[in-house]
Structure 1
Amino acid sequence: MRHLKGFTLVELLVVIAIIGVLIALLLPAVQQAREAARRMQCSNNLKQIGIAVHNYHDVYGKFPSAMMLDQARLAVSSCPEGKCGTWTWTAFLLPQVEQDNLYDLLQVGILPGEVSLGDATRLAAAKEGFDGYRCPSASGPDQNTERKVPSGSGDSSADCTGSGCDAIALANYVGANDSNTLDRDNWNGFMAKDTKRRVFTFADMIDGTSNTIAIGERAYKLANRTLRAGTQLVANGDTANHSRQGHSYITAGGRWPINCTNSQDCDRGFSSNHPGGAQFLFVDGSVHFLPETIDHDTDSAVDSVYEYLICKDDGNPIGEY
């Protein structure tokens, strides 16, 4: 009688076990390789933003403001949250990142932000945004439902949660505002709003462009904490009567440690979905990964390495980070 050869049950189980071990060994390596590629793309995004910031300075003789308030309206009233939409640094840089068509369509700086978004075509474009303002490693929706902005008539609530507000494109990059909390009047970092026509140039980077953070990352969600990321193009209004709503959409402070998740106010700091830290664009155009363990404290004094890097003119030696 002819006998057919084949695998025994034991041999089959051994093969399956070997395959399982190989998958267990290779899967983390594959995931690490994918994250390395995403982190590299994020770094490239920041480098392109850095080139855009320098080109903006070449054209206008200054760095972009974090947000542009409607100066005529501000002179007679205010720019209240829920009603007023402010143009932001991501909008001002559109021509420098080869997004001239979007810049022209939105009429950046010509129309108030909420008026521009009151048009259906412009609103759709703002919802689409620009991919270069998103980190490939980041989670979160395409439109930032956590930070809505006024469109058309706006809404009566400061948080802009009603029908007159819309979610537009999410951003994972925010400007460095102050070494401590967010500050609308006397910030010591790279950018803030231009209420007093206060703008900075290379000459203002007293500590050196290679020692000063310009822009960093913010995640939408990290661990169990919703950090809300930022918005592209337009932010909510910003007045002294509320908790700097608009500022928190587009800038960050150094009071909160990198990847902070222990407070609801962590959504005003820097964070990322990269393991162990976040990436930062420095004023000289270089990009650095700063670890969560960087020297940091929460008091108002500029007395830690993290704060030294955010403050543009503290005069302290940086050392290793």
Structure 2
Amino acid sequence: MNDSNLLTLMQIPVTAFMCPSTAGPDLNDVKPVLLGSNNDLARSDYVVVNDKDFVDRRDPDGSFVCARYNAPHRFADITDGLTNTLFVGERCYQLGGEIMGAGVVYGTSSQKFNDGEEGLVYVAGSGRLPINLGPLSSTDFDHRQGFASNHPGGVNFLFGDGSVHFETETIDHNISAATNSMFEYLIVEVASGDNQFDFDVQADQQSYPPTR
């Protein structure tokens, strides 16, 4: 980015991207963009779903990809069904005293596409860690690429069919591998070949909006 006018636009708060239940600064000081010096961008409490493990720029298995390395997904490509696939989830700014980081409305921090995955975390999330889980250690920041909210007990997700469901933080999740876990099943956009989870999906969801 080299246009100060563009930076000014990227710092305009957009209330539609802010969850009413989430407190935090209008400009996200956790995820700045470099323009001469660090500059904070408009905060977003919603990020797209990118991968079941770490946020992945080159080979994601979620519904949203980095177009430099992957062809954009069409609805027809999501063979597991739009009603079974997560598109967008919440990530609050702070939860229980821990900084979760939220996201930003526009842009990423990387100055080049090959700078790693850090910039993509600004706008995308992953299923690496369970919902609403904080840091595993004082030097671990993986939780800042996950999903979290200030709603008690879970997170709202937008599914591919346009519906919004509240997924509980107790949803089946394997932190070491996430193999065939419920959370993984909802993130991966291709058919799993295993429909045993369909009933459990309904059991883990609550009608929108959730009780706050």
Deviation at 1:128, TM superposition (A): 1.6
User: Could you say if the C-alpha distance between residues 129 and 315 of structure 1 is closer, same or farther in structure 2, counting changes exceeding 3 Å?
Assistant: farther
Deviation at 1:239, TM superposition (A): 4.5
For residue 235 of structure 1, give the secondary structure of its aligned residue in structure 2: coil
In structure 2, C-alpha distance between the alignment counterparts of 1:211 and 1:124, rounded to whole Å: 38
1:153-164 residue pairs with structure 2 within 5 A? 154=36, 163=37
Which residue of structure 2 lines up, in the alignment, with residue 49 of structure 1?
none
In structure 1, C-alpha distance between the alignment counterparts of 2:181 and 2:50, rounded to whole Å: 16
Letter in 2 for 1:141: P
In structure 1, C-alpha distance between the alignment counterparts of 2:95 and 2:84, rounded to whole Å: 27
For residue 27 of structure 2, give the secondary structure of its aligned residue in structure 1: coil
Is 1:208 matched with 2:81? yes
Deviation at 1:129, TM superposition (A): 3.1
Measured on the aligned residues, the alpha-carbon RMSD in Å equals: 1.6
For residues 161-194 of structure 1, give each alpha carbon's deviation from its aligned partner in whole angstroms, at most 9, with x where no partner exists: xx2x310100000011111111111111011211
Is 1:257 matched with 2:144? no
Which residue of structure 2 lines up, in the alignment, with residue 288 of structure 1?
165
For residue 147 of structure 1, give the secondary structure of its aligned residue in structure 2: strand
Which residue of structure 2 lines up, in the alignment, with residue 134 of structure 1?
18
Range with greater deviation from structure 2 (136-145 or 229-238)? 229-238
1:93-242 residue pairs with structure 2 within 5 A? 114-116=1-3, 118-119=4-5, 122-151=6-35, 154=36, 163=37, 165-237=38-110, 239-242=113-116
1:219 and 1:228 in contact (8 A); partners too: yes
For residue 171 of structure 2, give the secondary structure of its aligned residue in structure 1: coil
Letter in 1 for 2:186: L
Which residue of structure 1 lines up, in the alignment, with residue 179 of structure 2?
302
Deviation at 1:196, TM superposition (A): 2.4
1:230 and 1:249 in contact (8 A); partners too: yes
Q: Percent identity over the alignment?
A: 36
2:84 and 2:186 in contact (8 A); partners too: yes
TM-score of the two chains, using structure 1 as the length reference: 0.57
- The structure where helix makes up a greater share of residues is 1
2:44 and 2:104 in contact (8 A); partners too: yes
Deviation at 1:255, TM superposition (A): 1.4
Letter in 1 for 2:11: K
1:218 and 1:230 in contact (8 A); partners too: yes
Which residue of structure 2 lines up, in the alignment, with residue 316 of structure 1?
194
The aligned length equals: 193
For residues 122-175 of structure 1, give each alpha carbon's deviation from its aligned partner in whole angstroms, at most 9, with x where no partner exists: 433321232111111111100001100133xx4xxxxxxxx2x31010000001
In structure 2, C-alpha distance between the alignment counterparts of 1:197 and 1:262, rounded to whole Å: 30
In structure 1, C-alpha distance between the alignment counterparts of 2:179 and 2:95, rounded to whole Å: 27
Letter in 1 for 2:174: D
Range with greater deviation from structure 2 (132-141 or 258-267)? 258-267
In structure 1, C-alpha distance between the alignment counterparts of 2:107 and 2:114, rounded to whole Å: 19
TM-score of the two chains, using structure 2 as the length reference: 0.85
For residues 263-290 of structure 1, give each alpha carbon's deviation from its aligned partner in whole angstroms, at most 9, with x where no partner exists: 3210010000111101000000000000
Deviation at 1:241, TM superposition (A): 5.0
User: Could you say if the C-alpha distance between residues 206 and 129 of structure 1 is closer, same or farther in structure 2, counting changes exceeding 3 Å?
Assistant: same
What residue ranges of structure 2 are gaps of 5+ in the alignment?
Answer: 205-212
For residue 11 of structure 2, give the secondary structure of its aligned residue in structure 1: helix
For residues 85-130 of structure 1, give each alpha carbon's deviation from its aligned partner in whole angstroms, at most 9, with x where no partner exists: xxxxxxxxxxxxxxxxxxxxxxxxxxxxx134x22xx433321232
For residues 255-314 of structure 1, give each alpha carbon's deviation from its aligned partner in whole angstroms, at most 9, with x where no partner exists: 111001133210010000111101000000000000111111123453111110011112
- The structure where strand makes up a greater share of residues is 2
Letter in 2 for 1:146: V
In structure 1, C-alpha distance between the alignment counterparts of 2:91 and 2:100, rounded to whole Å: 7
Deviation at 1:235, TM superposition (A): 1.2
In structure 1, C-alpha distance between the alignment counterparts of 2:81 and 2:152, rounded to whole Å: 29
